[in-house]
Amino acid sequence: MAAGINAQLSESLTPGNVAAALFVFVISSFIVDFARKPRYTEALPRVGCGGGLVGTLKNFFFFVTRYNKWYSKHGRAFVVPSAPSRPQEIVVPRSQAAWMLELPDRVLSTKEAHRDTLHNDYQFFGMDDEFPVHTIHKHLARNIVGLIPGVQEEVHDAIDATFGKDTDNWKALALWDAWLGIIPQVTNRIIVGLPLCRNEEFLKSQVGFADDIIRNGFILDAFPRIFQPLVAPFFVLSNWWHWRTSYRHAKPVIEQRLHDMERKASGVDPAYENWQPPEDMVTWLIRQAKTDGLDAELNAERLSKRILPVEFAAIHTTVMTGFNLMLDLLTSDPSLKALETIREETARVFAEEGGAWTKQGLARLHRTDSAIRESMRFSNIARSLTHRKVVAPEGITNAAEGWHAPYGAFLMLDLAGTHRDPDLYENPDEYDPWRYSRQREEHEAKTAGEKGSAEDTLRIQRLGMVTTSAEHLSFSHGRHACPGRFFVAHELKMILAYLVNNYDIKPLAEKPKSMWVGPNMIPPVQAKIEVRRRKVTV
């Protein structure tokens, strides 16, 4: 009998039957997955190719990015497509942004939205960004003044190494690769410090890990959620490999820091009486873990995993921002003299500061700040950077319109549509580097009597690149706005100042085209520039 059963199994397990069974399993998984997604009232308008299974797949590849003119401007929420494995999202209009952002985390969760979007359980080995973000809030701002000299040092070293020092010949560079040669090193000065921030293999591993998150996110989004536990471990092998490679270099640094801080705290070793730990993310995580009584965090492996979300966010978004900034400047209206104006302002303030950047000096770079903020408005890196997941079991009800979002629903603010809204921005489809500084300069040129109310003065003061609002969402908005934006502002200003004062860069005839894939902007990484070291440098 056993022989007969084996024979029947052998006959049934033909390639065609196996392929058919696999096909049925995959389709069934999509159907089950689709049936388990939260449902929204039909009173909410939809955009895209429809909410069915076929429509969901079409939406992912033929994505509509600007919906603001249809609904948001009229105070109405609407539903937009999402990836096949994720629920569609409700776009909350600008007039209701405060309602969404002020709801407590036990009702609308940023952490859970990030966890689902980035597939944290697989890609970050189960680690979320809550503890690192909490640590940044506690320590970054209070240490920013002391960090600036070290950051300036890394800016100079990284740019010199990436762009070279040839003052006679023009050099062709892939702009994307150039920014990858700058940002990881500069950023890691405040994450892991010297000398690790200049370790080439460590930096390449962190860049590789950031690339893994983006690539695997696209892949996993295409699989039904009930299928993901089977496929995710295979795809995230590259994440594990890049982390292990970086950990090999980070482990001795972290272990030494743990030892040194423990000896310092004990007060029994005279050798540590005058020793102070470097102010970087490793120190802050250790310090915060001790403050919060989180003894489980105090080992090298766990701490190395805690910095992964910080590395990813800092590398990915800042590289894209700097990349877009250079493309915008190099293709801006020549009559605006963008690079020349920034060169004059940064050289003048740098000299006034005695050849070393300070927080106060960087704050006086109003036109440079304006050029960066305008690029962040004009060149969006995603459809939205402000997402919330409904975690209240009973869901939430929007009082303004009456619609209900059940548990598991996603809400978002529309960055792309808001930043190109002609009601908010004059000529929104043009890059105007002085859009914000012009308003500041006009206001400062007025007499005290002409400046108007204190409210108008406050509005002018809030035109800086780190200020968030419902009209400017590049750093998100509300209590979960990017906690590292103050460092990013200093970092980008120092990079841009050193570049324009020490290198000539040929303008580009036109800006290379980006491409939308799903809700994400894919940059034209093939873009090249030509640079030459200036004979007179600053």
- What tens digit of pLDDT does each residue of 189-231 get? 999 999 999 999 999 999 999 999 999 998 888 888 888 888 8
User: What pLDDT band is residue 323 in, cutting at 50, 70 and 90?
Assistant: very high
The pLDDT of residue 359 is above 70: yes
Cis amide leading into 433 (omega within 30): no
Cβ-count burial of 393 within 10 angstroms (0-12 exposed, 13-18 middle, 19+ buried)? exposed
Q: Helix, strand, or coil here: 531? A: strand
pLDDT at 22: 57
Q: Looking at 104-118, 399-413, 436-450, which range is the least confident one?
A: 436-450
pLDDT at 82: 80
pLDDT at 55: 61
Which of 301, 295, 207 is closest to 251 using CA atoms? 301
Q: CB neighbours of 408 closer than 8 A, spacing ≥ 6? A: 37, 38, 87, 389, 390
Full DSSP string of 75-131:
T--EEE---TTS--EEEPPGGGHHHHHHS-TTTEEHHHHHHHHHTHHHHTTT--SHH
**CA-CA distance, 385 to 322, in Å (whole number)?**
17
Q: Looking at 40-44, 262-266, 337-341, which range is the least confident one?
A: 40-44
pLDDT at 9: 44
The pLDDT of residue 23 is above 80: no
Which of 316, 315, 330, 375 is closest to 512 using CA atoms? 330
The pLDDT of residue 247 is above 80: yes
What is residue 451's DSSP assignment?
A: S
Please tell me whether 49 is known to bind a ligand: no
Please report where in the chains the tokens 């992964």 appear, as a residue: 308
The pLDDT of residue 139 is above 90: yes
The pLDDT tens digits of the residues spanning 151-175 come to: 999 999 999 999 999 999 999 999 9
- Are 369 and 485 contacting, i.e. CB atoms less than 8 angstroms apart? no
Model confidence, pTM:
0.90
CA triple 188-388-304, angle to 5 deg = 25
Which of 366, 367, 373 is closest to 341 using CA atoms? 367
pLDDT at 463: 85
Which of 42, 37, 36 is closest to 402 using CA atoms? 42
Left, alpha or beta for 452 (phi > 0: left; psi -120 to 50: alpha)?
A: left
What is residue 532's DSSP assignment?
A: E
- Phi and psi of 425, rounded to 5°? -130, 125
pLDDT at 64: 47
The pLDDT of residue 58 is above 70: no
Average of pLDDT values for 424-429? 93
Given CA atoms 91, 96, 98, 104 in this order, what sign does their dihedral have? negative
pLDDT at 228: 86
The pLDDT tens digits of the residues spanning 257-295 come to: 999 999 999 988 888 888 999 999 999 999 999 999 999
